[in-house]
Structure 1
């Protein structure tokens, strides 16, 4: 790799093959000089096996992945192994993935916002990291071949940067993020319970929800003249929301920032969350979907059976394949496995294959237009046992994997419901 500079000196820290049975790609750990932070900052870059430093004629799309709070660019290394798996299965084309360091401050993260307390993290990602990657690697170096995604705090950051910078990013993906800050109100009972049984409350960053609320305050309501935490916390000692502080937060609310967008901006948005997420973020994502609906902006929103992190790799298999399909062709595309497809003429649910099955099968369904759907599995008594898919899906043919998991051997039924359409098929588990 050429040892060029972007506002400073580039240092090669390590060059390693990913540690997996497939081991298709490799990861570079880099440090570059940031003028915004007046320091050297670290980032990791995943390169596909095909990448040739000596052949600039081959150009690759790039996904920027933003980590969650309490970690840094090294915290999501398993993603690269998963990308290798998708490549081995021929489900995605070669691409780069960049993992910048978004850590800052004493509360575990920057929320990828420009803040007097954390520095200008949003500007750093958009105006230093992206140009640095384009200058040092064989990227396509255009908006249509650039996506930003993240998890948790990084999910917020990805949606924020995609909405703020549609001229830089083709789209954004948020996994278990908080894209509508008005729903912070749903946290208030938990915040109060973490900080005492009754007012007056003395809010301190000592428990999980409160620490995260302080991290948010550091991003959106910093106050450098207010030690020891240097933030304006959004609740007063009686547990009431402070309107003047919360109004400052709304200046950073993706659900409001989308108001400057139109369908002609062609911004692709995908977001999801687990229905059992311990951070209670389903309302945050529901409200964001409502805002997009009011503006007539297209999106993919899925909820799933699970919590905050344990299904992240499975969800990333879905979203990265979806991003790959957006890279390859304009919408409409499949939201679930990234299949490029013509728009079907009617709703349809297809027979799973293989059937009977063990350990996995696939269920396909067709949507003639963007629709809110549910796809559920029932036992022979009619009891619901699984929710395979739920949310708003684009027009196209979608595919959902199903593993036997905790399903016992026997006969089951799966049903697709969408806009008055309902269809059911049988499936058989054989263990």
Structure 2
């Protein structure tokens, strides 16, 4: 929090008594987390397509019946010599690219919420511990995913609880449930939106946070949007990174109204 404020003070002529913050994707997560944990500093926060409800990763998708952890494994099939699928396992090194969007997202989140530093030989890649980069002292910086060797596509029994608890300690949805009294008393502005065809399934995060805030009686702005002006759905579906300029008009106005 202090790093963000110090950067703003040093680089822009800002009124630090009236601060709002917004972001897209992990930036949206960060904006809402800062707002929820420091509503005395940030009067309003906005998340565009952010991963803001980690428990949703464990819920089956309504269309496929598979949760995000299972879908991530499905991106990583293991084949036999004849090209038949033997099973699913994240390889080392992992395939982090546009063809593996869920795998890439979960590794990025593990880098933030469950990083680890230890000798390379101590990493158990069979239990989803991955060394990623060697440090100057010879140790390796890596990540641990919140699944274990019993996990199968669509299953949550293989959840690695110790790692999952690390994630939940940083989960916006969980933090909102803990801080809602303060958010309400300070009339904190909370803005959430997401495209209805988000390829990372983050529209369900927006829905979950909306339901939580509604049940708690917390005022907020929420929208899962589809097509927009000049964005025909056949050419520009409402996905993770589309429609941002249209959405910024809404979030900036909302934040301005709450400062």
What TM-score, normalized by structure 2, do the two folds share? Answer: 0.72
1:150/1:173 contact within 8 Å kept: yes
1:179/1:254 contact within 8 Å kept: yes
| Matched residue, 2:47 | 174
Distance 1:238-1:199 versus aligned 2 partners, 3 A rule: farther
Pairing 1:309–2:241 present: yes
2:206/2:224 contact within 8 Å kept: no
1:200/1:238 contact within 8 Å kept: no
If you compute each CA radius of gyration, which structure gives the higher value, 1 or 2?
1
Pairing 1:140–2:15 present: yes
Pairing 1:220–2:113 present: yes
- Report the alpha carbon displacement of residue 208 of structure 1 after superposing the two structures with TM: 1.9
- Report the alpha carbon displacement of residue 137 of structure 1 after superposing the two structures with TM: 3.7
Specify the SS of the correspondent of 2:131: coil
| Matched residue, 1:190 | 71
Structure richer in strand, relative to its length: 1
Deviations 1:382-428 (A, max 9, x none): xxxxxxxxxxxxxxxxxxxxxxxxxxxxxxxxxxxxxxxxxxxxxxx
Distance 1:269-1:164 versus aligned 2 partners, 3 A rule: same
Name the CA distance, whole Å, in 2 between partners of 1:291 and 1:325: 23
Number of residue pairs the alignment of both structures matches: 200
Specify the SS of the correspondent of 2:197: coil
Structure richer in helix, relative to its length: 2
Name the CA distance, whole Å, in 2 between partners of 1:158 and 1:129: 11
If asked which structure has higher relative contact order (CA below 8 Å, sep 6+), I would say: 2
Listed as ranges, the gaps of 5+ residues in structure 2 are 59-66, 78-84, 124-129, 133-141, 152-157, 227-237
Name the CA distance, whole Å, in 1 between partners of 2:2 and 2:86: 46
Specify the SS of the correspondent of 1:272: strand
Distance 1:260-1:184 versus aligned 2 partners, 3 A rule: same
| Matched residue, 2:161 | 243
| Matched residue, 2:145 | 233
Listed as ranges, the gaps of 5+ residues in structure 1 are 1-125, 328-431
Name the CA distance, whole Å, in 1 between partners of 2:14 and 2:107: 37
Name the CA distance, whole Å, in 1 between partners of 2:210 and 2:35: 15
Name the CA distance, whole Å, in 1 between partners of 2:56 and 2:214: 17
Deviations 1:126-177 (A, max 9, x none): 11231342255432121xx211100011111111111111121111100011
Deviations 1:67-94 (A, max 9, x none): xxxxxxxxxxxxxxxxxxxxxxxxxxxx
Pairing 1:323–2:226 present: no
Name the CA distance, whole Å, in 2 between partners of 1:150 and 1:158: 6
Name the CA distance, whole Å, in 2 between partners of 1:205 and 1:190: 14
| Matched residue, 2:220 | 299
Name the CA distance, whole Å, in 2 between partners of 1:268 and 1:133: 20
1:255/1:288 contact within 8 Å kept: yes
What TM-score, normalized by structure 1, do the two folds share? Answer: 0.44
Deviations 1:220-266 (A, max 9, x none): 11121245231111122332222221121110111111122321022
Aligned-pair Cα RMSD in Å: 1.8
